[in-house]
Chains A and B, each alone.
Chain A
Amino acid sequence: MADEHAATHGEHGAAGHHGSIWPFVLALAGGIGFAGVITWFPLALVGAAVLAAGLAGWLLEDARGVRFGEVTYPTEPGIFKSVSIRKLGMWLFIVSEIFFFSAIIGNSLALRTRAPFWPEPGVDSPLNIPLTALNTFILITSSFTMVQALKGIEKGNLRLFRGALLATLLLGIMFVSIQVYEYNKLFFEEHLTPWLNPVEPRLATFGTTFYMQTGFHGAHVSGGVFGLAYLNYKAWKKDWFTPHNHEGVELIGLYWHFVDIVWIFLFPIVYLI
């Protein structure tokens, strides 16, 4: 078994193909940051600094062209032996994100059932449904362009790949920009705040749950936009992605589609019900 394992490593050549240290730095940053949020706030800032350093280190390492070997599959027999380990890792990350958003949405539903007042969509709600519907179409369209980008690189059609990837990035930026505009209008004109509301006291709980759900989703979309921007940069580098080596495109795509699915559930829950 050991020989088999060594032989498999030999196929990939260079030492260090096991991966990068930077994901562990990011995990450490997350641990420090969250510990800071619940104990001593300056520690959260330390977490943010470690996070920035970790992201910078990872991007620089990747941009230098350090490769971690070809797509690999678990060498030991098991139920996941036919699944790429990177794709499996992304799916497990998505599972953790399902828990994260379920906790937030569940908590908001629990608060809603206890709130003395909840605005009715289209009647006394301050939310702009037509504008958010437009944003929903934008996100759906960006999912479509993302799969077109994947289709393009799978077929070796660089024009389709790069064009669709750029369109996905622009649509993502558009979504975030519209959300910023919506927040600005709601906060300054509709007086919808994420905390105790002196102007519209009955909207306090509604405001808290609204900003918590859409804010965390917006943060995830913003993270996806950074990922897409970096993917666009790599898409223009010669021979970085090929029809036989483009798993990075698929993995960023999985994350992007997941963010779309979260919005598919948030839109009716927050805006239409």
Chain B
Amino acid sequence: MSMETRREGLGARLAAAAAVTVKKPYFAVFLALGAITVFEINVPSFGQYGIPKSAQVLMLMATAVAKGALVALYYMHLKYEPLVLRYVPLVPLGLVAILVLTLVVK
């Protein structure tokens, strides 16, 4: 196999790889967001089944984090971005945690 043929083979493979578009599950994410929101709206009524307020707050924060992550990863395309860009929005979150804890605990 000559060098030229090998180069063509590699080029063809790269072109084929580039042609394959990643299927992005936009509609599935939309359905998941809707389903989580339906659950979320019903959480305040869980008190009548004996679920304490602190557990409700944890559930609501967990659903909010799940929904936020879905939007950021799939709709804002962080899942498909270079790794370095995925860390950019994470940078302020640690500082935010310190800020909120300071304000609430002080």
Measured between beta carbons, the chain A residues less than 8 angstroms from B81 are: 83
Q: Does A117 contact B (CB under 8 A)?
A: no
Measured between beta carbons, the chain A residues less than 8 angstroms from B71 are: 143, 257, 260-261, 264
Q: Does B20 contact A (CB under 8 A)?
A: no
Measured between beta carbons, the chain A residues less than 8 angstroms from B56 are: 273
Q: Does B106 contact A (CB under 8 A)?
A: yes
Measured between alpha carbons, how far is A136 from B40 in the docked complex, in Å? 11
Q: Does A75 contact B (CB under 8 A)?
A: no
**Quick one: which of B26, B30, B60, B103 contacts A151, CB cutoff 8 A?**
B26
Q: Is chain B's binding surface mostly helix, strand, loop or mixed?
A: helix
- Which of chain A's residues 243-273 have a Cβ closer than 8 Å to chain B? 250, 253-254, 257-258, 260-261, 264-265, 267-269, 272-273
Measured between beta carbons, the chain B residues less than 8 angstroms from A95 are: 88-89, 91-92
- Count A-side interface residues using an 8 Å CB cutoff: 48
Report the minimum CB–CB distance from A146 to chain B (whole Å).
7
- Give A79's nearest chain B residue, CB to CB: B84
Q: Which of A5-13, A101-109, A177-185 contacts B (4 or more CB under 8 A)?
A: A101-109
- Give B93's nearest chain A residue, CB to CB: A98
Cβ contact within 8 Å between B76 and A258: yes
Q: Does B17 contact A (CB under 8 A)?
A: no
- Give A256's nearest chain B residue, CB to CB: B75
- A91-B88, A261-B67, A261-B71 given; name 18 further pairs at CB < 8 Å: A80-B84, A82-B84, A98-B96, A99-B95, A102-B96, A103-B99, A109-B103, A129-B44, A140-B33, A141-B30, A144-B27, A254-B76, A257-B71, A260-B71, A264-B68, A268-B61, A269-B64, A273-B60
**Quick one: which of B26, B40, B44, B72 contacts A148, CB cutoff 8 A?**
B26
Q: Does A63 contact B (CB under 8 A)?
A: no
14 contacts between A and B (CB under 8 A): A80-B85, A95-B91, A102-B96, A102-B99, A106-B100, A106-B103, A106-B104, A129-B44, A140-B34, A146-B75, A148-B26, A261-B67, A265-B68, A272-B41
Report the minimum CB–CB distance from B34 to chain A (whole Å).
7
- Which of chain A's residues 102-160 have a Cβ closer than 8 Å to chain B? 102-103, 105-107, 109-110, 113, 121-122, 129, 133, 136-137, 140-141, 143-144, 146-148, 151
Measured between alpha carbons, how far is A265 from B37 in the docked complex, in Å? 11
Cβ contact within 8 Å between A137 and B64: no
Measured between beta carbons, the chain A residues less than 8 angstroms from B100 are: 102, 105-106, 109
Using known A-B contacts A98-B96, A146-B75, determine if residue A264 contacts B89 with beta carbons closer than 8 Å: no
Measured between beta carbons, the chain A residues less than 8 angstroms from B60 are: 268, 272-273
Cβ contact within 8 Å between B37 and A261: no
- Return the CB mask of B63-91 against A: 1 if under 8 Å, else 0: 11001100110111100011011001101
Using known A-B contacts A98-B92, A122-B45, A268-B60, determine if residue A261 contacts B68 with beta carbons closer than 8 Å: yes
Measured between alpha carbons, how far is A99 from B56 in the docked complex, in Å? 26
- Which of chain A's residues 216-254 have a Cβ closer than 8 Å to chain B? 250, 253-254
Measured between beta carbons, the chain A residues less than 8 angstroms from B84 are: 79-80, 82-83
- Give B59's nearest chain A residue, CB to CB: A268
Report the minimum CB–CB distance from A86 to chain B (whole Å).
13
Central interface residue in B33, B44, B76, B92, by most chain A CB within 10 Å: B76
Q: Does A92 contact B (CB under 8 A)?
A: yes
Measured between beta carbons, the chain A residues less than 8 angstroms from B99 are: 102-103, 106
Q: Does B12 contact A (CB under 8 A)?
A: no
Q: Does A88 contact B (CB under 8 A)?
A: yes
